[in-house]
Amino acid sequence: TKQRKPLHVVDNKKRPRILVADHDEASIKAVKKRLRPDEYFVRTASNGQECLDALQNSSVGYDVILVAKDLASNDAFEITKWLRCRQQENKEEPHRLPQIII
């Protein structure tokens, strides 16, 4: 089978970059415990606005976004909406950033 390479790499260890959006600190700790720092680069956001800021201000991007299903108000919906708009605008970049609801 053909193996996919991560699109965005931040360091010479070539760790996949993961953005985790969750307001529950215990959930973030559990995710970070599973995603070992020697294998993954993990950035966290405690709400939708922090997540959108991280996406907009990242110079190298992320390989996947994990979003808590119970994120405050409509934050998970707003993140999805922003991602879809960005993907439609950026026709040169066929990569669709995976968003996983946790």
Cα separation of 11 and 84, whole Å? 27
pLDDT (0 to 100) of residue 77: 76
* Res 98: pLDDT: 79
Q: 62-92, pLDDT tens digit by residue? A: 899 998 887 766 677 788 787 778 777 775 5
pLDDT one-digit tens code per residue, 18-54: 999 999 999 999 998 999 888 999 999 998 889 989 9
4, two tokens: 């996919």
pLDDT at 9: 44
- Spatial separation of the C-alpha atoms in residues 52 and 68, rounded to whole Å: 14
DSSP the chain: -PPPPPS-B-STT-PBEEEEE-S-HHHHHHHHHHS-TTT-EEEEESSHHHHHHHHHH-SS--SEEEE-TT-STTHHHHHHHHHHHHHHH-TT--PPPPEEE-
